[in-house]
A and B are shown apart, each in its own frame.
Chain A
Amino acid sequence: MTGQVSVLAYGDRALLVELGSTERVVGYVDALRADPPPGLADVVPAAETVLVLAAERAVVESLRTALLGVEPLPGAEVSDSLGAVEIPVRYDGPDLADVARLTGLDEQEVVAAHTGRPWRVAFGGFAPGFGYLVGGDPRLHVPRRESARTAVPAGAVGLAGDYSGVYPRESPGGWQLIGTTQVPMWDLDRDPPALLRPGAEVRFVVEGTR
């Protein structure tokens, strides 16, 4: 788990650490949380980078030095101890035909590929309750839409790049929408409010077939 860490400027209050893989991101964040450098205000992990927010402008330079010295902790593979979440989906999304065209599959094959193997929550972000799911069928890799929709409905199931995900509430979004689920992704009256937590396994099933 060694390799160069590069730290990029991000305005006057933040720094972007490039790690190159989701595994190294998880290990890096574990290391930061185990021994937080002074002036660290918040950490936003994502696919291959970690955005680090500084408590104030004056500490950004010392924080940069500290971040260059952080080694990702090893053994930070996504945990499988969180159990599996099953999500029934009605595959009626407005981009299902586009996804079929982009992947060279027919619509039934897209559904079979999406339900055919388990996904795993790699990290959160974008919106409360949203989990970036990885580990699905590689044939489903599709680009985001050319321009984002201003309103994607809650429960919409989408694909983008290596990921699948479920929109927890109505929000803008640029993912290719292939279906809809009724299962709430986010509920403030639930503890924890998010259904999908990093590490959890997710299985999509065709609604009404189990």
Chain B
Amino acid sequence: MSRALRVRETGPLCLVEDLGRPGASGIGVGRSGAADRRALRQANRALANRDDAAALEVTLGGLEVEVVGGPLWFCVTGAPAAVTVDGRETGPYTVTAAPTGAVLRLGTPATGLRSYLAVRGGIDVPPVLGSRSHDVMSGIGPPPVAVGDLLPVGAAPAAYPEVDALPPPVLHEELVLAAVRGPRDSWVREVDVLVRSCWTVSDRSNRVGMRLGGPALEHVEPARQLPSEGACRGAVQVPPSGEPVLFLADHPVTGGYPVVAVVVDADVDRAAQARPGQSVRFRWVRP
């Protein structure tokens, strides 16, 4: 039997993700990929994988998998979940060996939202339209990981890991995101409300977008319609209700509400670790 992970528990949501499928927006397919790309790259580099190898994106822990078909190396990054191998704590941010038959378990992280379990060789499920990312918006890609799944592990790369521990991220309770003024900032009465207010991450947030509770960003002309425009990860769109939405990995390719700000690329990864109820602020930067 070739090497694989047999899924025993999934936690609230577990998805296979890589760095996404670029270039398909013309047929309405977004890029998708890991919500926290930096964490995925970090895990892959620690294991000497390709940067874009697929891993498991585990939301709020609770994943349990059994190693079958041969031993493997793994690394957990992103939200710092407790990690155990057969009940023995090993910790995230380390490169760890797991023998055949071992059971790996991710606890619920104390901070952050999404942890990444990467294995040396990558999760080798069949790609869809060139990527192994599940897109919750389009439904494209490998289906959400379910109990009983057997997830194949790819062949180990020729290179070997050079480090066995990584610096864990610092996840602050109040997240401050750098943003550039958006192309439609004049559609709201006062776009500076965005940087003057403290926002709360709504529990109606997901990989498509993070909804932000706070004061309404009032439209200048609520009845005015914006022709649909392309969108990218980090765009802050404001519907007439005035509740801003920060687009994450699985955002729609085009959107019909004005984009009043765009969070800089690196900070979108940090935003993807914000939990419902957490505080978010914005600050303006030049592009």
- A: residues with CB less than 8 A from B are 8-14, 16, 41-51, 53, 57, 60, 124-130, 132, 143-144, 146-148, 150, 160-161, 163, 168-169, 171-172, 174, 188, 192-194, 197
Contact = CB atoms under 8 A, between A and B. Distances in A.
A31 B239 CA distance: 33
B208 A43 contact: no
Interface in B224-240: 225, 227-232, 234-235, 239-240
B20 to A, nearest CB: 11
Contacts of A45: 26, 230
13 contacts: A16-B229, A16-B230, A42-B22, A44-B26, A49-B227, A57-B265, A124-B28, A124-B253, A125-B28, A126-B228, A127-B137, A127-B253, A171-B252
* Interface bracket on B: 35 or more
B66 to A, nearest CB: 30
Contacts, number: 140
Nearest to B268: A11
B256 interface: yes
Interface of B: 22-23, 25-29, 31, 128-129, 137-140, 179-183, 204, 208, 223, 225, 227-232, 234-235, 239-241, 252-257, 259, 262-265, 287
A42 B265 contact: no
Given A9-B287, A49-B227, A171-B252, 11 more contacts: A12-B180, A12-B287, A13-B264, A16-B183, A126-B252, A129-B28, A147-B241, A160-B225, A172-B208, A174-B256, A192-B27
Contacts of A174: 239, 256-257
Contacts of B239: 147-148, 174
Contacts of B259: 10
B137 A125 contact: no
